[in-house]
Structure formats: structure tokens, C-alpha cells
């Protein structure tokens, strides 16, 4: 595991030594890099910037094997061109490392990430898609960098709605019985349809039968008091739902471990104490019987303060009490120094108030970062939230199935030699990849239009485009026969090779940026740029038909490193890269 100094880091260092200040290096389309740091230094030291720039050029070692050319441009910018040999050599160092030269954090912390949190006895909808996909990518990226990551699936598995459901099950004990033959994906569907049926039936009775309503309310009290029979019934709902969740996550190609599913019920024992601590410290106060936390800057339309309600006037605990207790658990017991919440942007105010409350209570200290990672809504082509024709929210599974179907059509058209079975296998990887990529390539917090035609398109910023670039690349490497990928730093590089090479070198820095801001779309757009640069390279630089054996080896080397970088990058986004398409 060797981390590799990127070209930009090496040049940064070199110019910093000559300048005696930060050169503020960036990629440029004038040359490979541009340094703007001369301007600021000239201003501070009252020097002529162009003269200072010329001095820096003088001070740079001549005949440098890293820098091929430096030019002063404009008011005092330095345009820097890297030598071809330095590009190939740096890439060779990356290729020699399993991790492509991506460093492991020297002092990793512990991050608790709250994502993929569907609700028990309820259908999963498109909102649960985004949290799962973004969360899964962040887990993979952070773990790759060496962070200790604790996953928490804060499922909605507690609350007054269970009174009605449990009571109905008590009175109709066979409603959740299984067919002996149930397995796999169908088992998930069967579970959900049982839960749906039970929900509808119990709702009907609840709305029409006052006595049932009373019995249901009593059940809530029993549930909260921990009555064993009631808890056992409740557990059946949770177990039934997990069968369904798991089948959807299988389809989504996201691994959810049972031990990481710690739902709202998991903090039940802490709620009373959480309230007590808040009330005793004065962070929360009683207002019309409810236990509330007030904020100067949170007011309703009428200008009246809107409090965070920790405990309702009837004694019931809400969503906030659970989240506050979860913070106590995640900081004091799990020793997290970062808490991430991948949740719908509509819950932004909730998290703002919860975090602020936890800070006042001392559960979140300055050493702990708590961050809501918001995501926007999926929109239909009409720009309104994505709904079925009858105005209902889409079931997540239907959406996934449709994506896989569309992908199958695209693959069949493009690759006629595949068998039906192969088409079906690839369609899963391509269809699910398409959905994940569309999601991950959208910047956080933004809404996006759910357009399957666009998502499975072969052209444009899609996972299919990336997967084809990868597969094409792999096919060249297969066809190379005895010719092996070997770096030849002595060979001059064509413009398309330089462009591809400079991008390949940016992988580690891109990842560092992603884990700093928790923005997976930066990785997605990097991979798209890489695949595009590869496509240009592929068009302009013959690989197998290269003029000399050395050139062929060097180009195979570029192909191989591109394939590995694409595969690693896509894997971190949770997207498969089939070897053949």
C-alpha cells in the first residue's frame, strides 16, 4: 500500500519551493496546470507580478524531469506543462499499487451513518431509494479511505400506528402466516402484500368500530409498557417487513446487515432519561403540557416560535425524542466523531433543531460533527413529484423492475450475440446501475427528473456509457493476446494520451474531495470525464495496431489503468462493471 504523490502535488511542491508561497495550482486548458499564487504574493510584497513570475521561472530547476515547460502569461500567471515521462511514471506507480495509489487516512475516525431507513409495515417508495443509494456509496467511499464506519438503519418500527395493527393481528392470528413455498424475491412481495392487506383491513375496522379503536389504543399502552405478548406480535410485523426490505435491497444490490438495523424502537429505553436530562438542564421546557425546545430563529408563518416537541402533552414520545436518544447512543456508546444522516431535504428543519438541542445538552461537543446530508425529490417529466397516473407514489420495486426491463431492451439491441440468460444478467447490472448513477450524479439536495429513457441511454452522462467504456476496454485487453500492459516513460505521449493520463492521476484527489464534502456526484462526474477521455483516446490512438510493440504495451498500460480506475470508482458507487456487454 503505497500512496502516490500526484503530479499536481509534485508540481505544487516544486513551485512552492521556488516561489516561497502557495502557488495556488489548478488544472487549466491553456497548459496542464496554472499557478495563480504569484499575484497575491506580488501584491503583498509590493513587487511587479510579471517580474516576480519571471524570477520563479528562473528559480525552477532547469531540465527538470517533472516540468517540461513554464510560461508567464497574463498579469503573472504561470502556465505549466508536465513532461510526458512524468505522467507515465506517476501512472506506473499507481498501477503498481492495489489501491491505485489512494492513501489510507493516517488517523481514521469513527463515522456513524444513518441511511436506508424504510418504515415497518409500509411499502418502500422512491424516497427510500435515494437514502439507500447515496448512503451505500458514502459507506463504501469512507471505508475505502480507512474510516471506521458504523451503519445505522433507523427504520420506522415504533409508534402509535402499531396499536391498531397488533390488535388486528391478535384478533386475526393467521393473517401473517406464510405459504411453505415462499422464497427469494417472491417471498418479499408476498410479505408486503400480506402487510398491505392487514393494514387496509385493520384501518377499515379501526375507522368503523369504536370498540376496536379503544382496544387498539389500549394496545399502544401495552406496547409501550413492554407487555410480552404485545411485543411478540409487534416483532412479527418487524420480521415480516424485514423479509420485504431484504428482497428490495437484494434487487437494489445493496447489502444490509441485520445487526445494523437499529430502528426507532432500539432507543426506547432511553427516551424517559433523554427527556429528564433535557428538562433538568433547562434545555427543554414544558409548554401546554408538552416538553419543548425553543429556538430564536425558528418561527412559523404567524411569527410564533415553532418548538421541537420532545414529549407530547399526552406523554407520548415522538420522532425527536428518538433522534436525540440516538445521538446520545452514537456519541457516548459508539464513540463516533462524525454523525451523518442521509435523509430527505424536507427533514432539514428537524435535524437542525435536533442537532442544536443536542449541542445545548452537551451530547454533541465541538469534537463531533453532525451533518444532515439532504437529498431532493424525484420529479416526473412534468416537473412535479414523481407519481403514478392515479396520483399515488411509485412503489420502489416497480421502478426497479422497469429499469431492468428497459436495460434489457438496450442490451438486446446493442449486443445481438448474447443469450437470453446473459441479457437478463447484464440487464440487472445495467438497469440498477442506471438508477443508482442517475441518483449519484445529481448534486446533493437537488431534485431531479426520473427519466428512464435518459438513464439507460448509451450516450451521455449515464452508467451505461461508463459500463460500455469499461467493457470495450476489457475486450481490447482480452484481444491483446501475449502483448502485456507495460509503461514506457521514454515514449512521447499523444494529446489524447496526455489528457487521459492526467485524469487517471486525479483519482485519489477526487476521492479525497468526495469524503471531505460527502458529495458522491464528484466521483460520478470524474468517472464520466475519465470514460469520455478514454473514448477519445480509443478513437485517436490505435492500441492493438500501434506502430511499435513498445507503443502497444504503453497504450495497453493506459487501457488497463483506465479499466481498473473505472471499476474501482464504479464499485465505490455501488455499480457493477460487467466484463462483457
Residues making contact with ligand ARG (CB under 6 A):
114, 117, 119, 154, 156, 323, 341, 343
Nearer to ligand ARG, 350 or 360 (CB): 350
Nearer to ligand ARG, 234 or 465 (CB): 234
End-to-end Cα spacing for the chain: 32
Question: The C-alpha cell of 78 is what?
Answer: 504561470
Least Cβ distance, residue 17 to ligand ARG (angstroms): 49
Nearer to ligand ARG, 12 or 131 (CB): 131
DSSP 314: T
Nearer to ligand ARG, 373 or 566 (CB): 373
Nearer to ligand ARG, 158 or 470 (CB): 158
Nearer to ligand ARG, 271 or 410 (CB): 271
Nearer to ligand ARG, 154 or 522 (CB): 154
Nearer to ligand ARG, 46 or 257 (CB): 257
Nearer to ligand ARG, 340 or 572 (CB): 340
d(CA 414, CA 467): 13
Q: How many CA atoms lie within 13 A of 431 on its CB side?
A: 24
Nearer to ligand ARG, 249 or 341 (CB): 341
d(CA 286, CA 261): 33
Least Cβ distance, residue 224 to ligand ARG (angstroms): 19
Query: ∠ at Cα 117 (255, 126), nearest 5°?
Result: 90
Tell me the residue length of the chain. Answer: 581
Least Cβ distance, residue 164 to ligand ARG (angstroms): 19
Picking from 319, 328, 353, 286, the residue whose alpha carbon sits closest to that of residue 160 is 319
Least Cβ distance, residue 348 to ligand ARG (angstroms): 12
Least Cβ distance, residue 154 to ligand ARG (angstroms): 4
Least Cβ distance, residue 152 to ligand ARG (angstroms): 8
Hey, is 567 helix, strand or coil? helix
Contacts 24+ apart (CB under 8 A), 493-496: 493/84, 493/87, 493/88, 494/540, 494/541, 495/540, 496/533, 496/536, 496/537, 496/539, 496/540, 496/541
Nearer to ligand ARG, 283 or 340 (CB): 340
Least Cβ distance, residue 116 to ligand ARG (angstroms): 9
DSSP 260: G
Q: Specify burial of residue 524 (Cβ count, 10 A radius: 0-12, 13-18, 19+).
A: buried
Q: Are 111 and 60 in contact (CB under 8 A)?
A: no
Based on C-alpha coordinates, what's the Rg of the chain? 29
Least Cβ distance, residue 451 to ligand ARG (angstroms): 24
Least Cβ distance, residue 343 to ligand ARG (angstroms): 4
d(CA 581, CA 573): 19
d(CA 213, CA 387): 32
Hey, is 337 helix, strand or coil? coil
Question: The C-alpha cell of 104 is what?
Answer: 489510507
Least Cβ distance, residue 300 to ligand ARG (angstroms): 22
Least Cβ distance, residue 218 to ligand ARG (angstroms): 26
Please list, in sequence order, all residues whose beta carbon lies within 8 angstroms of the beta carbon of residue 293, skipping any fewer than 6 positions away: 278, 283, 284, 285, 307, 308, 310, 353, 356, 357, 360
Amino acid at each position: 500500500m503505497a500512496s502516490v504523490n500526484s503530479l499536481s502535488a509534485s508540481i505544487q511542491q516544486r513551485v512552492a519551493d521556488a516561489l516561497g508561497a502557495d502557488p495556488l495550482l489548478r488544472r487549466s486548458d491553456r497548459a496542464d496546470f496554472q499557478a495563480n499564487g504569484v499575484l497575491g504574493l506580488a501584491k503583498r510584497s509590493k513587487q511587479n507580478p510579471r517580474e516576480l513570475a519571471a524570477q520563479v521561472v528562473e528559480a525552477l530547476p532547469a531540465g527538470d524531469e517533472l516540468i517540461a515547460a513554464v510560461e508567464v502569461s497574463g498579469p503573472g500567471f504561470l502556465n505549466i506543462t508536465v513532461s510526458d515521462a512524468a505522467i507515465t511514471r506517476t501512472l506506473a506507480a499507481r498501477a503498481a499499487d492495489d489501491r491505485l495509489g489512494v492513501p489510507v487516512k493516517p488517523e481514521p475516525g469513527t463515522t456513524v451513518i444513518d441511511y436506508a431507513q424504510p418504515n415497518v409495515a409500509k411499502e418502500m417508495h422512491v424516497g427510500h431509494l435515494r437514502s439507500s443509494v447515496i448512503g451505500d456509496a458514502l459507506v463504501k467511499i469512507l471505508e475505502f479511505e480507512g474510516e471506521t464506519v458504523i451503519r445505522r438503519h433507523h427504520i420506522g418500527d415504533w409508534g402509535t400506528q402499531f396499536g391498531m395493527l397488533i390488535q388486528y393481528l391478535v384478533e386475526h392470528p393467521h393473517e401473517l402466516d406464510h405459504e411453505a413455498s415462499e422464497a427469494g424475491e417472491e417471498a418479499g412481495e408476498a410479505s408486503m402484500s400480506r402487510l398491505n392487506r392487514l393494514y387496509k383491513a385493520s384501518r377499515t375496522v379501526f375507522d368503523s368500530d369504536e370498540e376496536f379503536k379503544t382496544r387498539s389504543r389500549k394496545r399502544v399502552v401495552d406496547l409501550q409498557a413492554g407487555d410480552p405478548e404485545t411485543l411478540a406480535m409487534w416483532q412479527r410485523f418487524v420480521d415480516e417487513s424485514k423479509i420485504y426490505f431484504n428482497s428490495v435491497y437484494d434487487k437494489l444490490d445493496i447489502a444490509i446487515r441485520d445487526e445494523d438495523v437499529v430502528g426507532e424502537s432500539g432507543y426506547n429505553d432511553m427516551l424517559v432519561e433523554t427527556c429528564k436530562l433535557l428538562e433538568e438542564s433547562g434545555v427543554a421546557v414544558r409548554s401546554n403540557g408538552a416538553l419543548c425546545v425553543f429556538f430564536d430563529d425558528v418561527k412559523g408563518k404567524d411569527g410564533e416560535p415553532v418548538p421541537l416537541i420532545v414529549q407530547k402533552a399526552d406523554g407520548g414520545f415522538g420522532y425527536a425524542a428518538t433522534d436525540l436518544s440516538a445521538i446520545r447512543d452514537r456519541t457516548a456508546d459508539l464513540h463516533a466523531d462524525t454523525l451523518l444522516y442521509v435523509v430527505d431535504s424536507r427533514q432539514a428543519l428537524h435535524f437542525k433543531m435536533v442537532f442544536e438541542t443536542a449541542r445545548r445538552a452537551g451530547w454533541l461537543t465541538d469534537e463531533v460533527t453532525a451533518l444532515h446530508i439532504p437529498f431532493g425529490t424525484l420529479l416526473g417529466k412534468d416537473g412535479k413529484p414523481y407519481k403514478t397516473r392515479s396520483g399515488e407514489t411509485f412503489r420502489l420495486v416497480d421502478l426497479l423492475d422497469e429499469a431492468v426491463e428497459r436495460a434489457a431492451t438496450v442490451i438486446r439491441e446493442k449486443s445481438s450475440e448474447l443469450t437470453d440468460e446473459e441479457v437478463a444478467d447484464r440487464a440487472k447490472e445495467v438497469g440498477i446501475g442506471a438508477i443508482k448513477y442517475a441518483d449519484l450524479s445529481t448534486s446533493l439536495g437537488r431534485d431531479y427528473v426520473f427519466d428512464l429513457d435518459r438513464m439507460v441511454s448509451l450516450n451521455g452522462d449515464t452508467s451505461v456509457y461508463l459500463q460500455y467504456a469499461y467493457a470495450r476496454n476489457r475486450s481490447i485487453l482480452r484481444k491483446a493476446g501475449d502483448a502485456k500492459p507495460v509503461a514506457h516513460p521514454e515514449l512521447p505521449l499523444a494529446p489524447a494520451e496526455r489528457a487521459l493520463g492526467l485524469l487517471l492521476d486525479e483519482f485519489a484527489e477526487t476521492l479525497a474531495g468526495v469524503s471531505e464534502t460527502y458529495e458522491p456526484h464528484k466521483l460520478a462526474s470524474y468517472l464520466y470525464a475519465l470514460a469520455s477521455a478514454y473514448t477519445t483516446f480509443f478513437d485517436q490512438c490505435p492500441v492493438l495496431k500501434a506502430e511499435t510493440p513498445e507503443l502497444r504495451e504503453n497504450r495497453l498500460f493506459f487501457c488497463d489503468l483506465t479499466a481498473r480506475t473505472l471499476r474501482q470508482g464504479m464499485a465505490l458507487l455501488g455499480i457493477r462493471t460487467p466484463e462483457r456487454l
